[in-house]
Amino acid sequence: MRYPAGESPDLRDPSAVRVADLLAWNEPRVALVGEMVGLDRVIRWSLPSDLVDPSPYLRGDELVLTAGISIVDVATQRKFVESVCAAGAAVIGFALGVVADEVPPALIGAANALGVAVLSIPADVAFVEITQRLANEQNRHQLEARERSRVGAIVDMVRRGQASSQVLKQEFGARAESIDTVGVVVARRIAWPIDDAVLKGDIGQNAVAVFPGEKIAGMLSAAREVGLPFGWSGPVGFDRAATAVREAFAAVEVSSRLGRAAGPRDLATWHGLVHRLTPDQLAPFVDHVIAPLREYDLRHRTQLLLTAEVLCHRDGAVPAAAAELYVHENTVRKRVVRIEGLTGLNPLNSLDRAALLVALVGRHA
């Protein structure tokens, strides 16, 4: 399900039933009328009511069902919408064939203006059918969420080396006999199509999917449809499944910083390595490299930090750095001496430049 702009389902509760889920029901049938608004809102329960103001009986996140008996004109329709929306209702369902054969336009417009969706309910669908289906879906979602938590705990143990990769093979069951390789995709906990996955788990803010290696191309294509960053591993044998899991988790961290999908090749790059560093790992570089240079520049109105950055990007070439900074080469060399005195790092040395580059990345983390 695609969501309108501004309604990203990022970090959504996977056990919740949302307005968009109702639109996928075959039975009982409901249809969206009006604008695509409020589709990501959670529905906790339903309440049938033909009161003009049912707000005293609402506690928020309801599917409010009405046949329209008491709201036959524009004024009462708007009052009804205002009352249920003020009480925090998630969505309004209007039964056709009792008072009207179509949902009143005034009701639709008022609800949509407040960010609430309106559903039409066919005349042959009883409210109790919707209430029962909603309860069944909530139970199913909760069972699926518990299963994802269980699988997530197993995958996390494999990732941390607390369980063997063979545990994942056991989770595959009889299907493992026909599978030579497996792949792993990790994304933030979002609604993304991972139907081909054999194992689906939740680990903290991440959703993880383990699937047969030959399905990796289709899986990546489906995951990209979500339009959000994710990380994946290359296909590996079951004996290396732990490596694949760690690879996918590392890739999702790189992905979140790059703003795009990331895989094994992205990890084998300078940016892949640096973007996998945590704030705690970057802190010493910022504290002991960036801070001394920044403080010195502020006190003496110099440009040591800028000089270090330019030298790093120019591979330590003094003439090129001097030209970019509009200073004499000797000035650059004098600054290098001062930089080394303050940080212990010489930007003309390749290994020291690597440390300086890490520090420069860390100041923006």
Instruction: Mark whether 120 and 201 lie in a shared domain.
Output: no
Domain boundary among 264, 291, 312: 264
DSSP conformation letters of 107-127: HHHHHHHTT-EEEEE-TT--H
Count CB atoms within 10 A of the CB of residue 137: 16
Q: What mean pLDDT is predicted for residues 27-56? A: 95
Domain boundary among 207, 235, 264: 264
- Are the C-beta atoms of 207 and 187 separated by less than 8 Å? yes
Nearest by Cα to 54 from 33, 36, 69: 69
pLDDT of residue 4: 40
Residue 13 in any domain: the answer is no
DSSP conformation letters of 69-92: TT--SHHHHHHHHHHHHHTT--EE
Nearest by Cα to 244 from 253, 234, 254: 234
The count of C-alpha atoms lying within 13 angstroms of the C-alpha of 221, restricted to the half-sphere facing its C-beta, is 5
Instruction: Mark whether 247 and 167 lie in a shared domain.
Output: yes
3-state helix, strand, coil in the chain (%, to 5): 50, 15, 35
Which secondary-structure segment (H or E) carries 279?
A: helix 279-285
* Structural domain count of the chain: 3
Instruction: Mark whether 245 and 155 lie in a shared domain.
Output: yes
Name the token pair of 294. Answer: 């920044």
- Convert the pLDDT of each residue in 91-103 to its tens digit: 999 999 999 999 9
Residue 9 in any domain: the answer is no
Residue 149 in any domain: the answer is yes
Band the pLDDT of 10: cuts 50, 70, 90.
Answer: very low
Residue 134 in any domain: the answer is no
Name the token pair of 362. Answer: 């860390």
* 28 prior amide bond cis, ω within 30: yes
Q: Give pTM, 2 decimals.
A: 0.62
pLDDT of residue 189: 67
Instruction: Mark whether 223 and 116 lie in a shared domain.
Output: no
Instruction: Mark whether 258 and 154 lie in a shared domain.
Output: yes
Range of the structural domain that residue 167 is part of:
145-264
CB within 8 A of 187, min separation 6: which ones? Answer: 206, 207, 223, 226, 228, 229, 230, 231, 252
- Are the C-beta atoms of 56 and 73 separated by less than 8 Å? no
Q: What mean pLDDT is predicted for residues 254-282? A: 78
> Largest Cα–Cα distance of the chain, in whole Å?
89
CATH number at residue 121: 3.40.1390.20
Average predicted confidence (pLDDT) for the chain: 87
Band the pLDDT of 89: cuts 50, 70, 90.
Answer: very high
Name the token pair of 6. Answer: 């501004």
- Please say if the pLDDT value at position 1 is more than 70: no
Instruction: Mark whether 112 and 173 lie in a shared domain.
Output: no
Residue 138 in any domain: the answer is no
Instruction: Mark whether 317 and 353 lie in a shared domain.
Output: yes
200 to each of 21, 31, 113, 226, 262, how far by Cα in Å?
19, 30, 38, 17, 20
pLDDT of residue 94: 97
Instruction: Mark whether 29 and 107 lie in a shared domain.
Output: yes
Instruction: Mark whether 58 and 102 lie in a shared domain.
Output: yes
- Convert the pLDDT of each residue in 134-170 to its tens digit: 999 999 989 988 998 999 999 999 888 888 888 888 8
CATH number at residue 356: 1.10.10.2840
Instruction: Mark whether 109 and 195 lie in a shared domain.
Output: no
The secondary structure of residue 146, as a DSSP letter, is H
